Amino acid sequence: MTKTLTITTPDDFHVHLRDDALMASVVPYTAKQFARALVMPNLKPPITTVDQAIQYESRIKSALESYNHFQPLMTLYLTDKTSLDEIKKIPEYKQIVGIKYYPAGATTNSDSGVRNIDDRYDVFELMEKLDVALLLHGEVVDPGIDIFDREKVFIDQHLLKIHKTFPNLRIVLEHITTKDSTDFILSSSKKVAATITPQHLLLNRNHMFVGGINPHHYCLPILKREAHRQALLSAASSGNSKFFLGTDSAPHLKSTKENACGCAGIFSAASAIELYAEVFDELNAIDKLEGFASFYGADFYGLERNKSSINLIKEDWVVPEKITVGDEAIIPLYAGRKISWRVI
């Protein structure tokens, strides 16, 4: 018997859309699957002010005439210079839902990030007071720390202290990759939540090296060992509302991935909800998909749950080998692989 599934239209609480022509090429994929998406501010130059965020929102909307139900949710990029006056403007704009912390040098377009997080406690204090969420790229970048330990060391050195100092600050630990993170989230208050990407649910670190080095499986935080992936699977499919969907879909052209210095990032927007459905179904937890994909993120951010719905059918199909953008291509997550759920 054919299996179908109807769920409330999901939201993507972590996506990179970039700008200009590339944004115009990729944003329809996100808008087709999701009602809202929380758009990362790591443009070049980054989105650091309320005015820039509002202008970026309107560029996204105007690239999307045929999906005008789609609502981008905006974030500001925290720098060493972000002023308290800028933060004070945020509560007037309900489409600006948080501030993104990148450690300087941690990942794509993070050069303007924060050099010493301890120096930005003034900002966190104000955010706690104004109830503006802090979105964390939770890694340390000290070259002395092994790349596979960066997330754990961030929790130990910084996150525990931030959460203790600002207990009412809403914090999202983005794209978690380790059991250390699921344990931290489970042991912290309801003010703290996490997003989980499809790649960290589907792949472990071996996948970067199967049959040779595979740059399309390179993202940051980097894929981890299988035991960590298992912890993420349990967390995502547990029905615990502290874990919700954030794809971290990031468009990089094939030529910049298949390169001597390949970029970090995985593009999943064109088949994101299907990939999550695949994961949840394999765990016999398809009934937990809707909470993870459509409810918990909205609840955490104090947004209304979506009223529309989408339908999925259990039917094999193959993820496209590539997505054409101009004369170039993006290689999506699971390119050329068969998956068993499809949006209809």
137 is an interface residue for ligand DOR by CB under 6 A: yes
Select from 29-37, 104-112, 121-129, 182-190 the region that touches ligand DOR (CB under 6 A): 104-112
Choose between 180 and 248: whose C-beta lies nearer to Zn ion: 248
With CB under 6 A as the contact rule, the residue among 30, 108, 249, 271 that binds ligand DOR is 108
274 is an interface residue for Zn ion by CB under 5 A: no
**Residue 9 binds what, of ligand DOR, Zn ion, none (CB under 5 to 8 Å, by partner type)?**
none
From 321, 338, 339, 340, select the one nearest 330 (Cα to Cα): 321
Do you find a cis peptide bond into 45, omega within 30 degrees of 0?
yes
- In 185-261, DSSP assigns E strands to 192-196, 243-245
> 83 near 48, Cβ under 8 Å?
no
Question: Pairing between strand 338-343 and 309-318?
Answer: antiparallel
Residue whose structure tokens are 């199967």: 210
Q: Tokens for 72?
A: 């981008």
Choose between 71 and 268: whose C-beta lies nearer to ligand DOR: 268
Distance, in Å, from the CA atom of 164 to the CA atom of 343, rounded to the nearest integer, reads 42
Choose between 41 and 291: whose C-beta lies nearer to ligand DOR: 41
248 is an interface residue for Zn ion by CB under 5 A: yes
With CB under 6 A as the contact rule, the residue among 16, 36, 158, 257 that binds ligand DOR is 16
With CB under 6 A as the contact rule, the residue among 10, 46, 103, 265 that binds ligand DOR is 265
Least distance CB 249 / ligand DOR (angstroms):
9
Choose between 71 and 177: whose C-beta lies nearer to ligand DOR: 177
DSSP lists the bridge partners of residue 5 as 312
Q: How many helices (H) and strands (E) does the chain have?
A: 13, 13
Least distance CB 97 / ligand DOR (angstroms):
18
- Beta-carbon contacts of residue 120 (< 8 Å; ≥ 6 apart): 78, 80, 82, 101, 114
183: left (phi over 0), alpha (psi -120 to 50) or beta: alpha
With CB under 6 A as the contact rule, the residue among 33, 82, 107, 112 that binds ligand DOR is 107
With CB under 6 A as the contact rule, the residue among 31, 220, 273, 319 that binds ligand DOR is 220
Least distance CB 250 / ligand DOR (angstroms):
3
> Interface residues with ligand DOR (CB under 6 A)?
16, 42, 107-109, 137, 219-220, 250, 264-265
